Structure 1
Amino acid sequence: NVLQRNNYFVFIFNSFWVAFVSTALSLILGVPAAYAMSRFTMHRSALVVLMARVIPGVSLLVPWYYVFSNLRMVGRFEVLILSHMFVALPLIVYIMMSYFDSLPLELEESAQVDGLTPIGAFRLITLPLSVAGMATAGILSFIFSWNNFMFALVLSGSKTKTLPVAIFDFVSYASIDWGGLMAAATVVTVPIMIIALFTQKYIVSGMTAGATKG
């Protein structure tokens, strides 16, 4: 009944699209940034990235809404993707920094002795070795974006509404549709449970990669 009457397939597509694009863009930007911070010990830059993780997201909603409303962008996918990247990008950077720290520098030095440039060594040697870390960072970023409610509640529109916001429609001023609410919550939870079951080995290996060094 929830899937047929409330057009939930559109909301599922919206959530998937926002989560996929924000995660992909965060990986494209975050992995090279994490590599540079790890190899060149850019502690100040890492501290700036950490500050983005410390700042509460709710404190940014009012300025974001003011800026994007003046740009007439509220209710578009671009706004949701950018807001999710604000949290996903620092997460990816910190996971990948610890992963790059665990990789021996001698591999890149040997590649450069054989004629590769530093960028070539990163692309052909380091990047393939860090697939598990990228998978971990991407999965966690995707899960955050899929479950995000606060940003989508304020910045989404009727055509870009995501699943967590759609669930909120079952709560009205006078009553709560508990049956529909639980059914819709199951629709949100099941895809993440399936992803977690099939990718748990990548999450565990990636999160523990930077635990030991040497």
Structure 2
Amino acid sequence: MSTTTAPVADAAAPAVTPAAPRRRRPRRAYPTFRFIALAVVVLTFIAPLVWMVLASLKTNVAIYDPESAFVFTPTLANYETVFGQANYLQFIFNSFWIGFASTALSILLGVPAAYSMSRFVMKKSASVVLLARIIPGVSLLVPWYFIFSNLRMVGGYEVLILSHMFVALPLIVFIMMSFFDSLPLELEEQAQVDGLTPIGAFLRITLPLSVPGVATAGILSFIFSWNNFMFALVLSGARTKTLPVAIFDFVAYASIDWGGLMAAAVVITVPIMVIALFTQKYIVSGLTAGATKG
């Protein structure tokens, strides 16, 4: 009886190993370029702010002196002028009151309007809102002044609030329409099955979910009102001046008080920067809410 044995592999044969893949060298040029680009952008935006803050702590002589660009003796005289002699506390109150009132009224009217346009697909109304966003508000200053002067409203808070609402209301409707489009309709349908009315479903379900969008629209509307200059310049009075208009008190016919001007500019800029810093997450989430639909 014959037996067969399996062939034994040659122990002396070398083992074949697969070739190791070549590792790509990391590109060092791209991180360097990105760092340089970011540094240029940051310096471009930060440099004017730094110069503004430094100039607000200098005298007018030191502002014109190139050797005192960074090494100088700081002074608070410009801020004493702003808050003491220029009555800027009243102007700060005016800006806050007009911005708050115009934003609150625009949200009160714009959020239900945006919800209706989103849920009932009102394309014509949406086109009108978009047209109102495109038309520059400056083109309506002359008709506004003519109408409000005949109504004897020029110089009051009401005319400034209404004029700011013309820009804030389309902005809020435009943002909230995209936000409502991103919310599923099934949530409201389920709420109505459970016994809620359409208005109740909007108030109890949709509106709480749309808080980031409302916050975004309100913040952007308030920032616009705070920074607006042209409407307040034409339609405000001596007691209803806002900060962007009051800053021109430091500009005279023959000279400019650069120290006081920069101190007033810091007073205007700091509140908006603080608001934007603490509410940036709401702004980002609200602006990108409608981008995930589909």
Which one-letter code corresponds to 1:100 in the other structure? Answer: F
Which one-letter code corresponds to 2:229 in the other structure? Answer: F
Which one-letter code corresponds to 2:177 in the other structure? Answer: M
Distance in structure 1 (CA, Å) of the matches to 2:136 and 2:214: 25
Q: Does 1:195 align with 2:275?
A: yes
| Correspondence for 1:105 among 185, 196, 201 | 185
Distance in structure 1 (CA, Å) of the matches to 2:126 and 2:94: 32
State percent identity of aligned pairs. 83
Q: Corresponding residue for 1:209?
A: 289
Q: Does 1:130 align with 2:181?
A: no
The Cα of 1:168 is off from its aligned counterpart by 1.5
Q: Corresponding residue for 2:170?
A: 90
Q: Corresponding residue for 1:10?
A: 90
**TM-score of the two chains, using structure 2 as the length reference:** 0.72
Distance in structure 1 (CA, Å) of the matches to 2:271 and 2:147: 33
Structure 1 spans left out of the alignment, 5+ residues: none
| Correspondence for 2:229 among 139, 149, 152 | 149
| Correspondence for 1:168 among 248, 261, 278 | 248
Q: Does 1:42 align with 2:122?
A: yes
The Cα of 1:173 is off from its aligned counterpart by 2.0
Which stretch has the larger CA shift, 177-186 or 166-175?
166-175
| Correspondence for 1:28 among 82, 91, 108 | 108
Distance in structure 2 (CA, Å) of the matches to 1:100 and 1:151: 31
Distance in structure 1 (CA, Å) of the matches to 2:129 and 2:251: 37
Which one-letter code corresponds to 1:183 in the other structure? Answer: A
Runs of 4+ in 1 over 2 A off after TM superposition: none
CA RMSD in angstroms, aligned pairs only: 0.6
| Correspondence for 2:137 among 57, 72, 79 | 57
SS in 2 for 1:158: coil
**TM-score of the two chains, using structure 1 as the length reference:** 0.99
Greater relative contact order (Cα < 8 A, sep 6+): 1
Superposed CA deviations along residues 117-136 of structure 1, whole A, max 9, x for unmatched, are: 11110000000000000000
Distance in structure 1 (CA, Å) of the matches to 2:237 and 2:106: 23
The Cα of 1:87 is off from its aligned counterpart by 0.1
Structure 2 spans left out of the alignment, 5+ residues: 1-79
More helix by share: 1
